[in-house]
Structure 1
Amino acid sequence: MSPSFCVCRVRVSTGHCTRCARCASSASRCTRLPDPELERGVRAAHVLRRLGSDFVVFAEPHLKASNMKNLLQKDEKKEEPEQTVPCDHKTASRCLLNLMPVVSETVSGTLLNGTFLPDICLEVVHDRELSKLPFAKSNLTVVLFADISGDAIFCIWKADDKSTLADTIQTVVDCSLNIQKNYGEWPTCIGVTLRVKIGIATGMLEYHFFNDDFDNVHYSASGTVVEYVRNAEMLCTAGDIILTTEAWNFLEQKGVHTRYTYTALPEDMVKVLCFDPSVTEEEKVSFTSAFAGVRPALYALNFEDAPLLKRFISPVVVNIKTQEELIFLSEMRHVTIVFICMPEFIDIDLATLSQLYRIISAALKETDGVLNKVITFDKGCSFLAVFGLPGYKGKNETCNALMCCNKLVHEISAMNM
């Protein structure tokens, strides 16, 4: 089996507004978003956190703020200076007026690194489970997949057992209705109105954790629930909230489905339209709680966890001090991105995934590339790599990307899978 590759040249933001990191949200996107879009993204994700969402990541490919090694160091490979565009922290600050101030360690220590990772990774680090690599974990979950005009957020609520699923699903549906009511249509300063589509499903979700020969650790999420929620989201038009029948049945069994006005779809799904008129008080979400209450997994970390967090972050964040000007952490630059797609690997096992990760990581190491994301759902298994990030800048990064692809074609094909 030979993988397929997509190589393209784009201009992206590689920086991060650490003030936005105080909100456990889409902070990796905050640097370059227009003001209305930024506030909408931060607040919508904050809704998810306040209602118990345990795991928020962008499902669509994007460049995380974790990819900024040597941002404060001189890039020895760069011979010609690149134009940088600083982050406007005023925009970020307006989004966080209702949040309690965060201690200075958030800017320079363990918490800063932790803001770049989903809670499931923080829990693994805090429980000292990295010694068992590679390994997998599974949980009964309720999953929300929100498409925001092409970008997406993948959120997970963990349930103890099926007896608590109805309450959890009700929380997720209420959360979705709040998001659609307050942020379902959001005009931006560039004349584009952002719209939200939400799919909801329940089932077992499996997390894979694996490492390479360079002490790096990565993770992925997979399972039938991911396929179900993706199918639900694909049926949505702008403003829709669609649940799988299995998730809806749990609401019916408890009798709380009467809280909503809904309609059944021929595709064996249910569309929730709004709260039923008999519901006098919609569940409201406050933005005034302290950050520790929003993301407790982050505040559970201690000083000893910091080196372990850096194993997830490649390139590693270094030399960030409280006194540093945050404006120097953000910039725009041209990069080359590579998608390594293996659509045949729909139900990939941990051993194969770990082997692929080691092969791809080694090839990227030789060609100054950085692995940004491992996607094990929606069209098989895919890896997203980036060439030209700070600290890895060179004249011929597109050539490096093509050489890396050529090497991977031969090595992955030789696996005979």
Structure 2
Amino acid sequence: GNTERNIRRTNRAAVRFRQWLAANVPDLIVYGDFSQDIPFIESFDGVLLFADISGFTALTEKFSVETSLDCGADQLTQTLNHYVGDIVEEVLIFGGDILNFAGDALLALWKVERSQLSDIITLALKCSLSIQEEYGVRETEVGLELRVKIGLSAGHISKVVVGDNRHQYFLVIGRAVDEVRLAQNLANASEVILSPNCWELCNRNMIEVEKIKNERAVKVRYIKNVPGFNIDDFFERCIKYLQYFPANNPGEFFRFLCSCDLMGKGIGPAFLFQIDDNQPLEYLSELRPVTIVFVNLQFDESANTLHLCKAIQDASAKISGIIYAFHGKINKVFMFDKGCTYLCVFGLPGDKQADESTHALDSAFKIFGFCSTMLMKIKLVSIAVTSGPVFCGVVGHRVRHEYTEMKTTFCF
């Protein structure tokens, strides 16, 4: 009897751990194909939502100046995750997949067949307008406002997985990825912008828009009340389209991880260090002094997907090797209109070293030397190094979150 109870208890703990680990990676990875050699490319069609939240930098600075580091981190974490969690939950309810968190922004995906894009653009737009209606502006307890602006794009997307047997990183590239960031840049707080390609692919009979001067992108005003349109049938049709709907019952958001070992390679090493130490999530957030190296790679216009994949793989391997010697870690890799960006951090929990700023600068010179001369189709390499207290912690919703850093402002 005791043996059976212990086995059941162990199995339940393993399931909870897998669910918890899965919360740190998107469905695109959880349900991905890991049989291919790295690096590899997977291409598909889909709709992207990029939500940028303004007010985080001012909020972080206010908490860091007016409160102690420990107390400030707790209050900041609660404020951030209350707001970001509401937005994440709205995306999940509408069947979206949170690809990643980039500081005070998030990128979501609806992956579908090309023929289904029109309906899914409408679905993502309904999600965006719902976010703006419910959470477009939020007052915080310290008197500062948080606001969100949203860009949508649609079309062909490629997932690129790079790395080695120890650590793997994924990013999405393609025209739709470039356009979603450009659309978001055109938006003001509380607005939703459709990229040019998204506007071309959508059902224009459903959407009332406002033209933007000298731009092909459009600002959405509202979704029209079309006679004969049945919202229940529409949602049922959309759910059937989606390959990665979060659950049979979307209210539960059940996400299960098939391979802990593979997924662990895609999670930040500092975060895994604390997972192994069995620390609760609320203990993983802090205002922490670190040194950050931003590496931005811009490629020649003639570079195709294969060129980009090879260059990003080579850069990832070299950057990881250089900074690992100084206990630095690649926290994020992402691709937008400014090229491929690596966020490298020195001084994360378990990796604090003396002279980390010196090590970061030394690493930056070595990275620049390699990337500017050895990568395929490289046009420009820009590196910024900054040091100081930043928010380090878990951002998001209980079923989808990431360990990230935010606050630092820099220019390439």
TM-score bin (small chain): 0.5 to 0.7
2:192 aligns to what? 241
For residues 164-313 of structure 1, the aligned pairs below 5 Å read: 164-212=116-164, 215-252=166-203, 257-266=204-213, 267-276=215-224, 293-294=249-250, 299-302=255-258, 305-313=259-267
Unpaired stretches in structure 1, ≥5 consecutive residues: 1-102
Contact 2:149 2:192 in 1 (8 A): yes
Residue by residue over 1:44-66, the C-alpha shift from the partner in whole angstroms, topping out at 9 and shown as x without a partner, is xxxxxxxxxxxxxxxxxxxxxxx
The TM-score normalised by the length of structure 2 is: 0.65
Unpaired stretches in structure 2, ≥5 consecutive residues: 1-10, 56-103, 236-244, 377-412
Letter of the 2:178 partner, please give it.
E
For residues 333-344 of structure 1, the aligned pairs below 5 Å read: 333-344=288-299
SS at match of 1:109: helix
**Is the counterpart of residue 154 in structure 1 residue 100 in structure 2?**
no
Identity of aligned residues (%): 32
For residues 346 and 275 of structure 2, the distance between their equivalents in structure 1, rounded to whole angstroms, comes to: 23
1:369 aligns to what? 328
Structure having the larger proportion of residues in helix: 2
Residue by residue over 1:176-223, the C-alpha shift from the partner in whole angstroms, topping out at 9 and shown as x without a partner, is 1111111111111121212221111111111110123x6211111110
For residues 189 and 104 of structure 1, the distance between their equivalents in structure 2, rounded to whole angstroms, comes to: 39
Report the CA distance between 1:308 and its aligned residue. Answer: 1.3
Letter of the 1:166 partner, please give it.
S
Structure having the larger proportion of residues in strand: 2
Structure ranking higher on relative contact order (CA contacts 8 Å, 6+ apart): 1
Indicate how the Cα distance of structure 1 residues 363 and 295 shifts in structure 2: closer, same or farther if over 3 A, else same: farther
The TM-score normalised by the length of structure 1 is: 0.64
For residues 349 and 324 of structure 1, the distance between their equivalents in structure 2, rounded to whole angstroms, comes to: 38
Indicate how the Cα distance of structure 1 residues 247 and 376 shifts in structure 2: closer, same or farther if over 3 A, else same: closer
2:357 aligns to what? 398
For residues 291 and 413 of structure 1, the distance between their equivalents in structure 2, rounded to whole angstroms, comes to: 45
**Is the counterpart of residue 379 in structure 1 residue 338 in structure 2?**
yes
Q: CA RMSD in A?
A: 3.3
Q: How many residues align?
A: 301
Letter of the 1:193 partner, please give it.
E
For residues 114-125 of structure 1, the aligned pairs below 5 Å read: 114-124=22-32
Contact 2:333 2:341 in 1 (8 A): yes
1:74 aligns to what? none
1:135 to 34, 40, 43: 40
Moved more, 404-413 or 387-396: 404-413
Moved more, 379-388 or 322-331: 322-331
